[in-house]
Amino acid sequence: MTVKVAINGFGTIGKRVAEAVLKQDDMELVGVTKTRPDYLAKAASLRGLLYVPEEKLQDFEKSGIEVAGTLDELLRKVDVVVDATPGGIGKEYKKVYEKYGVKAIFQGGEKHEVAGFSFSTLCNYEEAHGKQYARVVSCNTTGLLRVLCTLHKEIGIEKVRATIVRRGADPHETKRGPINAIVPNPVTLPSHHGIDVRTVLDIDIATTAVVVPTTIMHLHVLNIVLKENVSKEKILEALEAAPRILVIPSEFSGIKDTAKIIEMARDMGRKRYDLNELAVFEESISVNGKELFLMQAVHQESIVVPENIDAIRALATNVSKEESIRKTDSTLGLVK
């Protein structure tokens, strides 16, 4: 039995999740919704996958791009909808999803309360079974949780202080800045990222964040106090054993910044240079007693894709966590 899936909102996140769904043998992509008739809409149309909100039907008719139906018609046909509309819009759509009785997965731009349950595979996959709604936490929170849940389980975390250096815009968003500034975001501390982590993992965490003029990746500086003294080897071992964490080895010492990580993803032939894995700089891992420092880079456009696929399974099937990770990661070609 395959899970029938719809994607509402076919932008940065939506188009990636849609392609990932197509690769799962236990899922069927029934349709995606677009609001603008562009080349992506045309591509979806050619595969019979294009649905649009009713009020947009006319725009698409004018453009000559054929539509398979309306969003409402799409929702009638599916088990799960992945909502990848812009932050705050998902909340509005929840009523529609409720009406059709479909399970829904929201993204990090929505508040925790919209779904009532925040999801991150390595932390709480099992708790999602049977739920009607889940929110896949944001790219930054997903990046933090991959490491934090891993280390918390393996070693135990006492306290986390982290600084998030955020990309200003996604690569295609040419209207957003900053061009030449460092922008505290938020300027009131600590930032919401720590609070977001705590919707999933109950630890002492405080975060701060700035936005800088780059488009390709976020970078996190983590300062973690563990429950016990550890060695760098132990940390390395834990991170290397965990799924979806790519430790960038020191021996390839050329890979020392976010641009070089992306170059590596390009060389690996990743579509759109997506790096679903969190990238941890091995060289940055530094341990002193219980205290750990490390730096990690997050490919904001793609890191949440595996978690979205897992969330579909967790909500709509009884596939186990290990099995879901295995299926997701092998179909997406993740390294490990």
Ligand X SMILES: NC(=O)c1ccc[n+]([C@@H]2O[C@H](COP(=O)([O-])OP(=O)(O)OC[C@H]3O[C@@H](n4cnc5c(N)ncnc54)[C@H](O)[C@@H]3O)[C@@H](O)[C@H]2O)c1
Name the residues annotated as catalytic. Answer: 139
Cβ proximity to a copy of itself: between 57 and 181 the closer is 181
Rounded to 5 degrees, what angle do the CA atoms 219, 225, 230 make? 105
Among 68, 234, 257, 321, binds a copy of itself (CB under 8 A): 257
- The CB-of-8 to a copy of itself minimum distance in angstroms stands at 19
Within 145-174, the residues that bind ligand X by CB under 6 A are: 170
What is the spatial distance between Cα 238 and Cα 153, in angstroms, rounded to a whole number? 10
Applying CB under 6 A, does 85 fall inside the site for ligand X? yes
Applying CB under 8 A, does 95 fall inside the site for a copy of itself? no
DSSP-derived letter for residue 137 is: P
Among 94, 272, 290, 321, binds a copy of itself (CB under 8 A): 272
Residues 6 or more apart in contact with residue 201 via CB below 8 angstroms: 120, 123, 145, 148, 149, 152
Tell me the two tokens of residue 180.
């030449």
User: Are the beta carbons of 218 and 300 closer than 8 angstroms?
Assistant: yes
176 binds, among ligand X, a copy of itself, none (CB under 5 to 8 A by kind): a copy of itself
User: Are the beta carbons of 170 and 196 closer than 8 angstroms?
Assistant: no
Cβ proximity to ligand X: between 48 and 87 the closer is 87
91 binds, among ligand X, a copy of itself, none (CB under 5 to 8 A by kind): none
- The CB-of-84 to ligand X minimum distance in angstroms stands at 5
* Type of residue found at 319: V
Cβ proximity to ligand X: between 71 and 155 the closer is 71
Cβ proximity to ligand X: between 105 and 155 the closer is 105
Phi–psi pair at 76, nearest 5 degrees? -65, -25
What is the spatial distance between Cα 236 and Cα 239, in angstroms, rounded to a whole number? 5
Residues 6 or more apart in contact with residue 38 via CB below 8 angstroms: none
- The CB-of-309 to a copy of itself minimum distance in angstroms stands at 19
Among 108, 143, 194, 306, binds ligand X (CB under 6 A): 108
Candidates 47-55, 226-234, 292-300, 312-320: pick the segment binding a copy of itself (CB under 8 A): 292-300
Q: Which residues pair with 160 in a beta bridge?
A: 205, 224
Candidates 127-135, 238-246, 262-270, 318-326: pick the segment binding a copy of itself (CB under 8 A): 262-270
User: Are the beta carbons of 209 and 138 closer than 8 angstroms?
Assistant: no
Within 113-172, the residues that bind a copy of itself by CB under 8 A are: 161, 163, 165, 168-169, 171-172
What is the spatial distance between Cα 310 and Cα 119, in angstroms, rounded to a whole number? 9
How many angstroms separate the Cα of 269 from the Cα of each of 24, 139, 147, 273? 20, 22, 25, 7
Within 130-149, the residues that bind ligand X by CB under 6 A are: 138-139
Compose the 15-54 pattern: x for residues touching ligand X by CB under 6 A, - for all others.
Answer: ------------------x-xx----------------x-
Applying CB under 8 A, does 202 fall inside the site for a copy of itself? no
Tell me the two tokens of residue 65.
């791009």
What is the spatial distance between Cα 79 and Cα 121, in angstroms, rounded to a whole number? 20
Helix (H) / strand (E) containing 123: helix 121-124
Q: What is the DSSP string of 230-249?
A: --HHHHHHHHHHSTTEEEE-
84 binds, among ligand X, a copy of itself, none (CB under 5 to 8 A by kind): ligand X
Applying CB under 6 A, does 8 fall inside the site for ligand X? yes
Among 124, 191, 207, 300, binds ligand X (CB under 6 A): 300
The pairing of strands 245-248 and 278-281 is: parallel
Applying CB under 8 A, does 34 fall inside the site for a copy of itself? no
Applying CB under 8 A, does 276 fall inside the site for a copy of itself? no
Residues that bind ligand X (CB under 6 A): 8-14, 33, 35-36, 53, 84-87, 89, 107-110, 138-139, 170, 300-301, 304
